[in-house]
């Protein structure tokens, strides 16, 4: 484990310490795992009201080319999603693929709203993957498209059913945004870039802020009693209940988007053409299915099955898969897990066993998300 002195600090480090956070090393950063409320209450508070998350450790970068078609085409050589069709002010979830069609990282891409920003795409990538991602992206770009790594901005998320009403007090135009839309906003006079998205299954925003103004924005949001600071512990249990993948655990360089059950990130044109790394393999999997598939798992009892727990068919000893994420779901009030199983055992309701401390616990393949997502869709 890295010494505290070697760890990077986000622009909100001092605020976390002031608020009594328990700090832990995460992806090279000294990050808050929990605040005095504790993981359980932080989780429940986010689902009832609004939670504020520091996600400044994640990588922010721009792809900059002469026009949208050129920049989007450059990114499409690395990802299986439609980027050319991405409209101004829209955001999309995608994955960087290697030549086996396996996932190097998952990321959010947004196209700026303003016409003078045509040719720019904003990327948000995982903290632990960012250096490798940037290397791979930079190496694949044509002469006229550049990768600009953003080092001087913080990223925070406000998530929960009351996130929108609190945001609107500081940035009224935020209320007009729909799920997966992105735009610049003036937050109490501070220029920020917001997207209406997140990693909890709730409505909310992710806000990119100049580092020097991050604490002012965070404090303004936290001054509202509807908002509490939330650590990485609850961030993990929230995303698990929402059925969202954690890179390096639920998807990685050995899983394709088909095996990972995230083919929603691939649009029709790309699924037909297969014009992306590992395209041939991914197309074959789309047509014929895969050996294994990521599924949701609900346990019968109260004991959580954690990452690494073996999955078996009741009455047999053979290990058919493993849990990739698992724990207690505070909103569900029960343990939840996800893992990989053979595709013929991936049907909802299939009875399986998860082995915890040598004991086989009954479980069933279950629909994800475990807790209904509550994203904000704009009225048509």
Partner 1 sequence: MSTYFTKDHEWLKVEGDVVTVGITEFAQSQLGDVVFVELPENGKTVDQDDEVAVVESVKAASEVYAPLDGEIVEGNELLVDEPAKVNEDPEGAAWFFKMKLGNAAQLEALMSEADYKAFVETL
Residues forming the site for partner 1 (CB under 8 A): 33-34, 38-41, 43, 233-234, 237, 302-304, 306, 327-328, 330, 335, 357
- Cβ neighbors of 365 (< 8 A, separation 6 or more) are 295, 296, 297, 341, 345, 346, 347, 348, 349, 350, 352
- Cβ neighbors of 225 (< 8 A, separation 6 or more) are none
Task: For the CB of residue 22, give the shortest distance to partner 1 in the complex, in Å.
Answer: 9
Alpha-carbon distance of 116 to 289, in angstroms, equals 44
Whose Cβ is closer to partner 1: residue 137's or residue 234's? 234
Task: For the CB of residue 369, give the shortest distance to partner 1 in the complex, in Å.
Answer: 18
Whose Cβ is closer to partner 1: residue 286's or residue 332's? 332
| 50-54 vs 227-229, strand pairing mode | parallel
Task: For the CB of residue 35, give the shortest distance to partner 1 in the complex, in Å.
Answer: 11
Whose Cβ is closer to partner 1: residue 39's or residue 166's? 39
Whose Cβ is closer to partner 1: residue 141's or residue 309's? 309
Whose Cβ is closer to partner 1: residue 11's or residue 160's? 160
Task: For the CB of residue 235, give the shortest distance to partner 1 in the complex, in Å.
Answer: 12
Task: For the CB of residue 234, give the shortest distance to partner 1 in the complex, in Å.
Answer: 8
Task: For the CB of residue 270, give the shortest distance to partner 1 in the complex, in Å.
Answer: 38
Whose Cβ is closer to partner 1: residue 39's or residue 145's? 39
Whose Cβ is closer to partner 1: residue 257's or residue 327's? 327
Alpha-carbon distance of 168 to 219, in angstroms, equals 15
């Amino acid at each position: 484990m890295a010494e505290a002195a070697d760890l990077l600090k986000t622009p909100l480090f001092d605020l976390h310490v002031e608020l009594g956070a328990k700090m832990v090393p995460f992806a090279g950063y000294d990050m808050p795992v929990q605040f005095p409320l504790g993981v359980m209450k932080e989780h429940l508070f986010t689902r009832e009201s609004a939670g504020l998350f520091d996600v400044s450790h994640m990588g922010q970068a721009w792809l900059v080319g002469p026009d949208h078609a050129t920049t989007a085409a450059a990114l499409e050589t690395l990802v299986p999603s439609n980027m050319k069709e991405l409209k101004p002010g829209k955001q999309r979830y995608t994955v960087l693929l290697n030549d086996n069609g396996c996932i190097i990282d998952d990321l959010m891409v947004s196209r700026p709203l303003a016409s003078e920003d045509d040719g720019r795409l904003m990327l948000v990538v995982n903290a632990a993957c960012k250096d490798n991602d940037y290397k791979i992206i930079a190496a694949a770009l044509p002469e006229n498209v550049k990768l600009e790594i953003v080092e001087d901005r913080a990223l925070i998320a406000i998530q929960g059913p009351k996130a929108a009403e609190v945001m609107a007090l500081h940035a009224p135009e935020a209320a007009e945004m729909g799920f997966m839309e992105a735009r610049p906003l003036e937050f109490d006079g501070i220029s920020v870039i917001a997207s209406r998205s997140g990693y909890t299954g709730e409505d909310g925003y992710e806000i990119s802020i100049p580092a020097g103004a991050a604490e002012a924005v965070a404090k303004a949001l936290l001054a509202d009693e509807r908002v509490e600071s939330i650590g990485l512990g609850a961030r993990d249990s929230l995303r698990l209940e929402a059925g969202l993948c954690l890179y390096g655990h639920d998807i990685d360089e050995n899983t394709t988007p088909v095996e990972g059950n995230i083919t929603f990130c691939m649009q029709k044109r790309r699924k037909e053409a297969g014009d992306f790394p590992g395209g041939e393999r991914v197309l074959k999997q789309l047509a014929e299915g895969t050996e294994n598939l990521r599924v949701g798992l609900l346990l019968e009892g109260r004991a959580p099955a954690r990452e690494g727990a073996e999955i078996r068919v009741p009455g047999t000893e053979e290990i058919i898969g493993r849990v990739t994420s698992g724990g207690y779901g505070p909103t569900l009030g029960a343990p939840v897990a996800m893992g990989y199983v053979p595709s013929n055992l991936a049907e909802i309701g299939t009875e399986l066993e998860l082995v915890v401390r040598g004991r086989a616990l009954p479980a069933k393949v279950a629909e994800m998300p475990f807790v209904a997502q509550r994203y904000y869709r704009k009225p048509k």
